[in-house]
Amino acid sequence: MGYEHILVEIEPPIATVTLNRPKVLNALSPAVIGEVAAALGELEADDSVRAAVLTGGPKVFAAGADIQDMAKQTAVDQLLRDQTGRWAPLAGFKKPLIAAVNGYALGGGCEVALMCDLIVAGDTARLGQPEVNLGIIPGAGGTQRWPRTAGKHVAMEVMLTGAPVTAQRAYELGIVNKVVPAEMTIEVAKRIARELAAKPPLAVRLAKEAVLKAFEAPLSEGLAVERKSFYFLFATEDQKEGMHAFLEKRKGVFKGR
């Protein structure tokens, strides 16, 4: 499928989705979000792809939702356009999704990175939620995902001041997994994606699902999901392969079955 605002590169077993509106720092218009959601849908259905990288390229991740577009909208437009629904497929992607963040990841851009499973940040990256300066608040999960990861007081600072944090501080807060020289960000993210793509896909998928459950459910419910997925994996060919490969001192070859 052809896209206007993003680039999709498939290099089995991984794929890379690149936001591509450099003139406006990859501002996330509804069209951009729609294309990212459609591309992730395609990658989810493509068995040759086992993990994906989402990036904005070498200079900027995304400076937020498109303010040109939002400035014209009313509350009723927001509701009728189902803005929240448009963004949902990004958080619902079932394969591992790694954000490669260079430069600014602000507002909706930061929220998109937080929807990913791992974040690799270039050393000059800045992550933040400046919405307060526009008279709004984050609308794609920022007020919930920041405190769940970095705690209440950091989240308050980020939301109320609107000031971004550096890549290094984000790393110290547990918001990003790795800080690397900016020119290495995408390559390191791809390397991690390839590493994850070599793992048994069903185990990876159910591990992701179980970890995400921890953000939503009480402990007993999360443990029940973990337990059922654990039992289920013993019905897969990959579990047999993984354990036999270990005992036979060879590398497992996994089929996602």
Q: Minimum distance between the CB of residue 156 and ligand DAK, rounded to whole angstroms?
A: 18
Give the neighbor-by-neighbor strand order of the sheet with 165-166. Answer: 104-106, 126-128, 165-166
Q: Minimum distance between the CB of residue 131 and ligand DAK, rounded to whole angstroms?
A: 5
Q: Is 198 a catalytic residue?
A: no
- With CA atoms as reference, report the closest residue to 103 among 159, 22, 190: 22
Residue that is written with structure tokens 């939002």 in the block: 70
Q: Cα separation of 8 and 43, whole Å?
A: 10
C-alpha distance across the termini of the chain, in Å? 28
Q: Minimum distance between the CB of residue 209 and ligand DAK, rounded to whole angstroms?
A: 22
- With CA atoms as reference, report the closest residue to 66 among 106, 116, 101: 106
Stretch that binds ligand DAK, among 3-11, 58-66, 177-185, 239-247 (CB under 6 A): 58-66
Q: Is 183 a catalytic residue?
A: no
Q: Is 252 a catalytic residue?
A: no
Query: Which residue in the list 56, 103, 108, 141 is annotated as catalytic?
Result: 108
For residue 65, give every residue at least 6 positions away whose Cβ sits within 8 Å of its Cβ, in sequence order, or none: 27, 28, 29, 107, 108, 139, 140
Residue 67 found at the interface with ligand DAK (CB under 6 A): yes
Residue 175 found at the interface with ligand DAK (CB under 6 A): no
Pairing, β 178-180 against β 118-122: parallel
Residue 196 found at the interface with ligand DAK (CB under 6 A): no
Token pair of 99 as six digits: 């954000």
Stretch that binds ligand DAK, among 2-10, 38-46, 133-141, 238-246 (CB under 6 A): 133-141
Residue 66 or 117: which CB sits closer to ligand DAK?
A: 66
Q: Is 108 a catalytic residue?
A: yes
Q: Return the residue of 96, 108, 122, 201 that touches ligand DAK, per CB under 6 A.
A: 108
x/- letters, 17..36, toward ligand DAK (CB under 6 A): -------xx-x---------
Residue 106 found at the interface with ligand DAK (CB under 6 A): yes
CA angle 61, 66, 69 (to 5 degrees): 165
- With CA atoms as reference, report the closest residue to 100 among 37, 22, 191: 191
Interacting residue ranges for ligand DAK, rule: CB under 6 A = 24-25, 27, 63-68, 83-84, 87, 104, 106-108, 111, 130-131, 134, 139-140
Please identify every residue annotated as catalytic: 65, 108, 111, 131
